[in-house]
Chain A
Amino acid sequence: MAAKEAAAEENKDHGVLYMGIDLGSSRTSVSASNGVRETIASYVGYPKDVVARKLLKKDVLFGDEALEKRLSLDFHRPLAHGKLKFQSAAGKEAEDAVRATKDLLAEIIRRSRPRKDELIYAVIGVPAQASIKNKEAILNAARESVDSVMLCSEPFAVAYGLDMLDDVLVIDIGAGTTDLCRMHGTMPEESDQITINYAGDFIDDELMKAFQKTCKGAAFSVQMVKTVKEKYASVSDEMERALVTFPVSGKPTQFDVTNDVRNCCRSIIKPIVDGLQKLIETFDPEFQEKLRSRVLLAGGGSLIRGLDYAIESYMHEHLGGGKVIRIEEPVYGGANGALKIAHDMPAEYWEKLR
């Protein structure tokens, strides 16, 4: 058996490109075993008409380019709110969401520059509590571009990538959802995972409401708000002043939105710690202390300045202590972990799933 496995392992470096893909609501990232790492915003756009197609000279646009040209496009964010849109849509909209997901996956795979003569084996990180319908859609989308594919929970992939498999709590703050996952040396089960909607999009919504009050008469879009958030996001008392310029009756006007940004970013701390509390209190009491002191903060949301300390201090206040570690590469954490899983998976498993 050992010899068989060794042979299988040896085969791995011949003609197979392994990929870890983090299919997120906001960004889709890939880490591949050829050393290529790529990330794109999870936006897909199709030219609205022939005029737009001629102008853009493309049939489909992705990421920031799609965002920039969205007025000329049928614009899709296929994984909004942490799940494939087809669940909440019907008819053409559902078909479009599935098509956009397929195209997005094909694009991120293309960007990882696989050789034509290599097989592609991919592990795709999906939200912890993705429905079976969602998984089916993602698998179908992926199968057109890869030779064998597996799904795994995103927070598990993050923890696996960091080799932190025992007594760890993972907070993976995405755009659509925040996944909380309890790792205890085995595969996390349903009771080990909690998914909440207090994530990047929630902060955007809160900022929209807050800006409407603070920036009287100003005109702004969700995308503008998102840009402000990405630039200034912080929960620190001593944060940099957030000065933004929005048009008021067509005239650019400056507003100070520092407090709004801070308060809205803080709005996700309580629900996250509440979720952690649920995972801690239902864990073996002997290991609760250890779990509390190993909290991994991952995902794009972990880029909010001071969030690790803020969660930690809130945990001290409400859970009697805690230690939060922000992962080094929030954008690629999930993809790196998924790549590691892809590598560590025995070759015969890949074969059986082809």
Chain B
Amino acid sequence: MPGSGPGLFSEAEVRRLMRIEFERSQRYKIPLVCFVIAVDRMDRLLDMYGQDFKNDLLRGVQSLLRQTVRESDLTGSVVDDKVVVLVTHTPPEGARSLANRMLEGARKLSFRAGARTIKITLSIGGSHNQHGTNLFFDTLVEVAEGGLSVAQGAGGDRYVHSELYEFFQAKHERERRERGEPLTEAPAFDAPLEGAQSASLPAALPADPVADLADAHRDVLRDIVAEEGTKALQSARKAQEALVHAIEDMQTKGGDPNLAAELESYKRQIDVLERRIAKLTQLLAMTEDDLRRLIDAKSIDPGVASIYKTVQGLDDATSNAKAKKELMKRIFQANLELKEQLKPGTPG
């Protein structure tokens, strides 16, 4: 969607305004929902009907969005023909009905391309700020984009509410740490308003083998979640946090003579957590299977039809027809007997 299209803010403008709105909502604990919306099969429609048609189509969608959301809500473009909508004063439960209204409205839209009438559908990904973790605006949008990807991958014309807050949040925290930026952009939803310290991971842990281990765990978890898009995230996150707390404690008690005993205790904890992670990994693998089945279902081979007549069949003109028919009967009878023999309850 063109960033400077009529009625829409540019990407930079909408981002700035949305950040302000987002921060206000966080500060005053106002429930807020973020949608990222895309028109299904946009690339194909552009290929088939050209840029003018695409512009018509986007104007139509924009008009639909204006009718569906309130004046005070923010609608703007992001890259790759996606539209981001920030809806304030809306709890997560309300997001679905709002998204459904958009989907329904889109289905009713029709566009002319020469003599043809083209119908469209939308895919919508959603996120909200009620998750209870420290949240960045970028996280909010990325979580919604994740939902959009799933919606598109599942065939479009649907709304998917993603819950991958921890994953994207951890990613942003790590990136900010690497850049040396403070982690205080987004106070927690229920954190004190002023002077709140981020409750997230320490900015820079000193080089330490235990910290490295924790980092390794974080990386593994991130990779898994990124790949699988999974449900097991919360438990994995708890495991990760427990490890980090353990490390923090170790660091604060650096000179403690009982350090060895505590270290042993933490090792046991790590062992338990590792086993839990293994279990969660199994769950993730199952999710991966589900996803793969979905992907496979999209590329079903139609198969090759039977061409029976090209192969010899058995008719009276066939050589040895009588003997062969008798053989067929014998094979059938042998198989029938086998079937009877193998029936449950038949003595062996």
Contact = CB atoms under 8 A, between A and B. Distances in A.
B301 interface: yes
A118 B312 contact: no
A234 B313 CA distance: 38
A41 interface: no
Contacts of A17: 305-306
B308 A187 contact: no
A33 B306 contact: yes
A260 to B, nearest CB: 42
Contact of B303 (A2, A6, A118): A118
B326 interface: yes
A187 B307 contact: no
Interface string A108-125: 000001111010000000
Nearest to A160: B327
Contacts of A2: 316
A289 interface: no
B46 interface: no
Contacts of A163: 319-320
B315 interface: yes
Nearest to A120: B306
B289 A115 contact: no
A3 interface: no
Interface in B301-348: 301-316, 318-320, 323-332, 334-336, 338-339, 341-342
Interface in B43-62: none
Contacts of B330: 186-187
A344 B314 CA distance: 5
Contacts of B305: 17, 34, 115, 118
B204 interface: no
Contacts of A118: 303, 305-306
Interface string B115-151: 0000000000000000000000000000000000000
Interface string A94-119: 00000000000000000001111010
Nearest to A185: B323
Contact of A132 (B289, B308, B309, B341): B341
B251 interface: no
B328 A186 contact: no
A139 B341 CA distance: 12
A351 to B, nearest CB: 11
B184 interface: no
Interface string B286-310: 0011001000000011111111111
A35 B310 contact: yes
Contacts of A187: 327, 330-331, 334
B332 A12 contact: no
Contacts of A16: 306, 308
A12 B308 contact: yes
B25 interface: no
B304 A115 contact: yes
Contacts of A339: 311
A33 B338 contact: no
Size bracket, chain A contacts: 35 or more
A152 B329 CA distance: 12
Contacts of B338: 132, 135-136, 139, 151
Contact of B306 (A13, A151, A152, A185): A13
Given A53-B285, A132-B338, A9 B332 contact: no
Given A165-B327, A344-B313, A352-B336, A35 B308 contact: no
Chain A interface, DSSP helix/strand/loop, else mixed: mixed
Interface in A1-33: 2, 6, 9, 12-13, 15-18, 32-33
Contact of A345 (B308, B310, B316, B328): B328
A196 to B, nearest CB: 23
A251 interface: no
Contact of A33 (B281, B289, B308): B308
Contacts of B281: 50
A54 interface: yes
A12 B314 CA distance: 11
A2 B285 CA distance: 56
A35 B301 contact: no
Contacts of A116: 300, 302-303
Contacts of A35: 304, 307, 310
A171 interface: no
B306 A150 contact: no
A207 to B, nearest CB: 37
26 contacts: A9-B314, A12-B308, A13-B308, A15-B306, A17-B305, A18-B306, A33-B306, A33-B308, A34-B303, A34-B306, A53-B288, A114-B303, A115-B304, A118-B306, A135-B338, A150-B332, A152-B331, A187-B330, A187-B334, A339-B311, A343-B311, A343-B312, A345-B328, A352-B332, A353-B332, A353-B335
Interface of A: 2, 6, 9, 12-13, 15-18, 32-36, 50, 53-54, 59, 113-116, 118, 132, 135-136, 139, 150-152, 160, 163, 165, 185-187, 339-341, 343-346, 349, 352-353
| Shortest beta-carbon contacts, A-B, top 6 | A13-B308, A115-B303, A344-B314, A34-B304, A187-B330, A349-B332
